[in-house]
Structure 1
Amino acid sequence: MMGNKTLWAVSVSGSIRSIGFGATWPFMAIFFNRDLGVPIFLVGIIFTFLAISSILFSVVGGWLADKFGRRATLLIGGFNGVVIYSLIAVFIAAHVSILYIAIGFVLSSSSGSLIFPSSTALVSDVTTQEDRTIAYGIYRILTNIGWAIGPIMGAYIYNLGMQWIFAIVALSTLIQFIVILFYVHDRRIYTRRSGIKVSVISYDRYLLLFSVGTFFIMMVSTQFSVTLPTFAANHVGIPVSDIGYIFAVNGAVVVLGQYPLNALFSRVSDVTTMIAGSLFYSAGYLLVGFSGNLLQLMLDMIIITVGEDLVSPSLNSIVSKIAPEDKVARYMGFNGMVNSAARALGPSIGTIFLSLYLYNGPEVWGTIDIFGITSIAILLVFGRMIGHRPANESASDSQSV
């Protein structure tokens, strides 16, 4: 694993990008709401359009990665990100219409949606199934080092202006592009070389059921982007400059906790690990509703991030294991599309709950937790279904998930 140069290159490049991305994400909902004066329900709609854009580009990204290669798609996504993030920085600095800033922000999802299927599929390409969960853990640890650094950096830069934060995102994406250009190489022969026609979307009934389960847990986790920071700032009364510390806890717990949690759950199946992660997610967000200060919210984030540490590597591992070898990126893209649908609905639903319940914590977060419970039920059914899968329906290199 230590000698796997491609794994480390794609992970390090993701870490560099996430420094910039982590500097923006905790503050965007508050920036639209407080600085630009956008009503909170419209902020949710902006994030909904962001996720819809991500759905479309996730499918395109998976198709491009399987047809033309992971590296080429990573480079397209990186170049696209540099251009869009730079434009957003200019728009904010020039005080152009809020509409143009919102459109740029929505279109910025194209960069990550092109990069993600290729990155996760490339990790699958260069690892064995026995090492895959650990490999995805390494990928997450390194990318989340950026999430530990970025929010704190953003907290200091926020008062200077959001344009500087987006300038940092553009710079970090440019550095990622350079790392991929010189250090990431494809390891597979792609269908463009064999003349085989490649469909844009691929899935089977196992992936479909699993994706429904991940949809509901993403409905919980996507409250991370709008509902949580808005609740913390507007209800709990946390200063905007301190919001970054809550999100920095997320990155730190991933870095410090991913390997120990992988080891702790190594003796159980990926599906069992995901169910445990869903329980932690649900418990952590429910506790947010009873929190009244920064320290309590940071402790809640530890529990939430344990859920993330358990869910994310297992999710990628399960998809890679049930996918035929020549469809891994498209299966990743399909699951990413479904999860992006949850990210599309989640912010709007979260802000509706904030308005409907007048920021009443237990009511807001208790209602959101219904999605987590639903996810657990579906994953239990999926686990039984995949355990009885006929041999002729298994992926060519399948093993227990």
Structure 2
Amino acid sequence: MGVFRKFPRTFWVANTIELFERWAWYGFFMLFANYLTGSSDMGGLEFTQSQKGILMGVGTGILYFLPVLTGAIADRYGYKKVLALAFVIYTSAFVLLPMFSTFTGVFLMYLYLALGAALFKPIISATIAKTTTDETASIGFGIYYMMVNIGAFFGPMVTLLFKGSSNLVFYVSAGIIALNFVLLLFYKEPHRGVVQQTSLTRTFGDIFRNMFSIVKDLKFVVFLLIVAGFWTMYNQLFFTLPVFISQWIDTSVLYHFFEKYIPFISTNYSPAPGVMDAEFVTNFDALYIIIFQIIVSSVVMRMKPLKSMISGFLVCSIGMALTLFSQNVLFTLVAILIFSLGEMAGSPKITEYIGRIAPHDKKALYMGYSFIPVFIGNVFAGIISGVVYQNMADKVMITRQFVAKKDLQLPDGLSNNAYFDHVAQQVNLTPHELTNLLWNEYSPSDIWMVILAIGLGTTLLLYIYDRVINKTKR
């Protein structure tokens, strides 16, 4: 426990700010995929999977690209000022976003929200890097990652209580992010080195010059590109898994367990009798990390970052692969557990690795570049969860293919849920039986083969990269 006394107060304040920011973000983001594509009678917008993939992939990708710019702005103009601006944008965006229902309107408001997140992101990770040493970095970033996941767990658990009104979901996130205005009073600006006050134009000129200088570092660029594969796989937790669970997974055994032993959960985290909210199931990833992160960090703290990443990415791939084999939610929970163990071993080490090699006076700039693979990963994750998922696994599209094959006649103007129920009636099946029939006939779980291939490919490339780096050092 002595290591915890070595962290300054700013370290703990920054981690608490991170907790509330992630609480607000995941409070809406975990629900976002099903909000965009869900049936209109359940408050969804009924966007296609392809539209969802574009919006979440490109929008979230831009969020993670902008820290390349915003990190340098924070280094130049001060972390505290930029944090305050980020919280203003965040709060207003959460209030405005549910007022739009067209694809263009939602996309533009999501980009505005992404700007607030982009201003925020490199500052906190840079603060953690500046308030830790080589001795405390592994535990420090493990604590940071645990705080991320405490927020990621409690965010959806709170907002799911208000899922009957999509507006309230966003307003709750706005209220949570506003708490950081109070915490900002206790945030002490870490030392940023000697900073010259120049014009914004000059600042951006310096940013792009730094960008080109980093591009010349081929090994670093290759590392960023390889790690993008991990983020492509990881983002399926938010882009694909909630939709897949909602459409295909039988959650009744979990529902009946909670109905018997913890009826509060079955009452408040269920859209219908016998069914658990998909986001509730997916949220077990964050719960596992809260429970096991410090233990895993202690195990891997003496491992070199690249070795830990290789091991973590491989375990993540195994977890993803298990989702292939069953519609039973208990199988899904085991798969999420295995995935989360790999995530805990690998993901924090990415930030730690870049934080170690970054010059002290350019921590935020280099932390900004740590988001480049996340940007690429989000874009590719959007493609997979969009057009690829739509063609391979989307229940709406598969049902329409089934209708065409059977030459069924259905009335126009039905919501997605009503359409599926009408199809079940016409073929004399219950909705549950029709789901099982489509699962067996169209194999929607094959989507996870694509994601497994990405995970294994990333692991292999990082292993080769590590071998090449070690040879270079000898």
Q: Same fold (TM over 0.5)?
A: yes
Shift of residue 208 of structure 1?
0.8
- Deviates further, 348-357 or 246-255: 348-357
Q: Deviations over 1:158-193 (max 9, x none)?
A: 12x111111111111111233124324222224235
Does the 8 Å contact 1:207/1:335 carry over to 2? Answer: no
Q: Which moved more, 1:21-30 or 1:4-13?
A: 21-30
Q: Flag the 1:74–1:291 CA change in 2: closer, same or farther, 3 A.
A: farther
1:188-239 CA-partner distances (Å, limit 9, x unpaired):
2242359996434362223212101111111111111221111111122556
Q: What is the rounded CA distance, in whole Å, between the counterparts of 1:326 and 1:199 in structure 2?
A: 14
Q: Does 1:71 align with 2:80?
A: yes
State the shift of 1:58 in Å: 1.9
Q: Does 1:272 align with 2:307?
A: yes
Task: Give the one of 25, 28, 49 matched to 1:24.
Answer: 28
Aligned equivalent of 2:218: 205
Question: Structure 1 residues 340, 177: CA separation in 2 closer, same or farther (over 3 Å shift)?
Answer: farther
Q: Secondary structure at the match of 1:319?
A: helix
Residues 113-144 of structure 1 deviation map (CA, whole Å, 9 limit, x = unaligned): 22111111111111112211211111111221
Q: Which residue number in structure 2 is paired with residue 47 of structure 1?
A: 56
C-alpha distance in structure 1 between counterparts of 2:393 and 2:288, whole Å: 31
Q: Take 1:194 and 1:37, find their aligned partners in 2: how far apart are those partners?
A: 48
Match of 2:320 among 242, 267, 285: 285
Please state how far the C-alpha of 1:255 moved relative to its aligned partner. 1.4
State the match for 2:458 in structure 1: 375
Q: 1:356 aligns with which of 383, 388, 391?
A: 391
Give distance in 2, aligned partners of 1:181 and 1:385: 47
Structure-1 separation of matches of 2:77 and 2:473: 32
- Over 3 Å counting, the alpha-carbon distance change for 1:322 and 1:113 in structure 2 is same
1:48 and 1:11 mapped to 2: Cα distance? 27
Give distance in 1, aligned partners of 2:326 and 2:73. Answer: 44
After TM superposition, list the pairs within 5 Å mapping 1:380-399 onto structure 2.
Answer: 380-388=463-471
Relative distance call for 1:65 and 1:291 in structure 2 (3 A) is: farther
Q: Deviations over 1:364-383 (max 9, x none)?
A: 11111121122112212332
1:289, 1:75 → 2: CA distance?
44
Q: Secondary structure of 2:207's match?
A: coil
Q: Give the alignment of 1:66-145 within 5 angstroms.
A: 66-89=75-98, 91=99, 97-145=102-150
Aligned equivalents of 1:98, 1:368: Cα separation in 2: 27
Change (3 A) 1:236 1:276: same
Which residue of 146, 149, 152 maps to 1:147? 152
Q: 1:323 to 1:206 in 2, by over 3 A?
A: farther
Does the 8 A contact of 1:288 with 1:361 survive in 2?
no
- Which letter maps to 1:323? A
Give the letter for the 1:182 counterpart: F
The CA deviation at 1:312 is: 1.9
Displacement of 1:56 in angstroms is 4.0
In structure 2, C-alpha distance between the alignment counterparts of 1:11 and 1:334, rounded to whole Å? 21
Cα deviation, residue 389, structure 1: 5.1
3-state secondary structure, aligned to 1:191: coil
Matched residue SS, 2:136: helix
- The correspondence for 2:296, drawn from 261, 273, 295, is 261
* 1:123/1:389 CA distance change after superposition, 3 Å: farther
Q: What is the rounded CA distance, in whole Å, between the counterparts of 1:212 and 1:190 in structure 2?
A: 32
In structure 1, the residue corresponding to 2:190 is in which secondary structure? coil
Selected match of 2:163 from 138, 158, 165: 158
Q: Which residue of 2 aligns with 1:313?
A: 348
Unaligned segments of structure 2, at least 5 residues: 39-43, 252-269, 395-442
Per-residue deviation, 1:278? 0.3
Residue equivalent to 2:16 = 12
Aligned length: 386
Instruction: Indicate the structure (1 or 2) with the bigger Cα radius of gyration.
Output: 2
Residue pair 1:286, 1:362 contacting (<8 A) in 2 also: no
- Deviation of 1:384 after TM superposition, in Å, equals 2.7
Which runs of 5 or more structure 1 residues have no equivalent in the other structure? 392-401
What amino acid does structure 2 have at the position aligned with 1:199? I
Paired position in structure 2 for 1:397:
none
State whether residues 70 and 121 of structure 1, in contact with CA within 8 Å, keep that contact through their aligned partners in structure 2.
no
Q: 1:376 to 1:363 in 2, by over 3 A?
A: same
Q: Tell me the residue number matched to 1:36.
A: 45
Q: What value does the CA root-mean-square deviation take over the aligned residues?
A: 2.3
Contact 1:46 1:106 in 2 (8 A): no
- Does 2:184 correspond to 1:171? no
